[in-house]
């Protein structure tokens, strides 16, 4: 089951980027990706305005908040800094596929902070 990030802010970062990063990223409370470690690749979908695309995000663990770097390979100029909807489906870590949530979809938004709610 996916982790759904509603109305999250995509920003541009200019310093200390992991290999393969486009420089664009999303911050997520660490509680949602606690089962993964630094460098995990997360597959998902990005929706912004009328554009939609599958992509890979690179996880950078933090204290309190994790950073999901959008891969350079998947970033294109039709997307911009600003609000977006992300659906994160699965992660790949140490050559293994890891489902993010096995029992239900998990939905969050900046307005909910760390609240975990079922899909509506």
Please state the domain count of the chain.
1
Question: At 38, which CATH number?
Answer: 2.40.30
Q: Are 58 and 39 in contact (CB under 8 A)?
A: yes
Would you tell me how many other CB atoms lie within 10 Å of the CB of residue 3? Answer: 22
Q: Find the domain containing 52 and state its range.
A: 3-118
What does pTM read for this prediction?
A: 0.86
Residue 118's pLDDT is what? 55
Would you tell me how many other CB atoms lie within 10 Å of the CB of residue 112? Answer: 13
pLDDT (tens, 9 = 90+) of the chain, 120 residues, equals: 899 999 898 999 888 888 888 889 999 998 899 989 999 999 999 998 888 999 999 999 998 899 999 999 988 878 877 899 999 999 999 999 998 888 888 888 877 655 555 554
């Amino acid at each position: 089951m996916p982790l759904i990030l509603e109305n999250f802010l995509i920003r541009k970062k200019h310093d200390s980027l992991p290999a393969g990063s486009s420089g664009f990223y999303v911050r997520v409370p660490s509680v949602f990706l606690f089962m993964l470690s630094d460098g995990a690749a997360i597959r998902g979908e990005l929706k912004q305005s009328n554009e939609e695309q599958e992509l890979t995000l690179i996880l950078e663990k933090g204290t309190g908040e994790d950073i999901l770097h959008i891969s350079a390979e998947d970033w294109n100029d039709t997307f911009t800094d600003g609000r977006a909807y992300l659906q994160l489906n699965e992660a790949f870590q140490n050559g293994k596929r890891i489902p993010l949530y096995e029992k239900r979809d998990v939905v969050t938004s900046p307005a909910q902070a760390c609240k975990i709610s079922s899909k509506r």
